[in-house]
Amino acid sequence: TPLLGVLALQGAFAEHEAMFGKLGAATVEIRQSRDLDQQLDAIVLPGGESTVQGKLLRDLGMFDRLRELIANGLPVFGTCAGLLLLAKHVEDGDTHLAVMDMTVKRNAYGRQLGSFFTRAEVKGVGDVPMTFIRAPYIESVGEGAEVLARVDGHIVAAQQNAMLVTSFHPELNDDLSMHRYFLDTMVLRRRSGA
Ligand code: GLN
């Protein structure tokens, strides 16, 4: 069974644990630096508040270690605030781990009225229900990254090597397809050396 480390400082981490649990993966909560010493097969960065999460990562002394693990190829799934943590360029916000080649617009749909639900096609995944909560969108991706989905012309899902990001919250609907896609194409395939 793959072991996924779910960053559990703030935000929707419990929902991710439940989703991956349904898919038969084991999860462990990452709350302090030494939690990263385990043999993890992937990291999950949940939605929440990227400024708070980024500050906690630094205050708890986890920032450099986490960044190094991801930069060295440990698969990572970032949703909403997690996407913001991974982006190299953030408009209207700070950059944090800065490992994925994309420019992201924070609170892109407005702060108060920015929550909505829709469905859209995700490349390689299918039709996916999408819950957006004060979400960012991706304005552009760099050469190494691939666009997986757009809503109203804005990029809402992308991947680069073993990094998968969505600006919506796949953990807040009972559709497992994004989690399964991450597990199958980025975690298990890598473990089997394919
Ligand atoms: N707007 C939030 C931020 O800046 C992200 C919202 C979310 O994760 N639902 O971090």
Taking CA atoms, 146 is separated from 77, 83, 142, in Å, by 14, 14, 8
Question: Measured from the CA of 80, which atom of ligand 1 is nearest?
Answer: 8
Residue 110: predicted pLDDT: 76
Q: Looking at the predicted structure, is the pLDDT value of residue 114 above 80?
A: no
Quote the DSSP letter at residue 86. Answer: H
Residue from 9, 52, 84, 137 whose mutation best tests the ligand 1 pocket (most atoms within 8 A of CB): 84
Q: Ligand 1 mean position to 44 CA, how many Å?
A: 15
Q: Is the CB of 90 under 6 A from ligand 1?
A: no
CATH of the domain at 83: 3.40.50.880
Helix (H, G, I), strand (E, B) or coil at 120: strand
Domain span at residue 156 reads 3-191
Residue 193: predicted pLDDT: 66
Residue from 134, 137, 168, 172 whose mutation best tests the ligand 1 pocket (most atoms within 8 A of CB): 134
Helix (H, G, I), strand (E, B) or coil at 17: helix
Question: Measured from the CA of 82, which atom of ligand 1 is nearest?
Answer: 8
Angle between helices 50-59 and 63-71 (to 10 degrees): 110
What does the alpha-carbon distance between residue 182 and residue 45 come to, in Å, rounded to a whole number? Answer: 13
Which residues does the annotation mark as catalytic?
A: 80, 169, 171
ipTM, two decimals, is 0.94
Dump pLDDT digits (tens) for 25-74.
999 999 999 999 999 999 999 999 999 999 999 999 999 999 999 999 99
> How many distinct structural domains can be found in the chain?
1
85 within 8 A of 112, measured Cβ to Cβ: no
Taking CA atoms, 33 is separated from 56, 137, 152, 180, in Å, by 11, 29, 39, 27
pTM, two decimals, is: 0.96
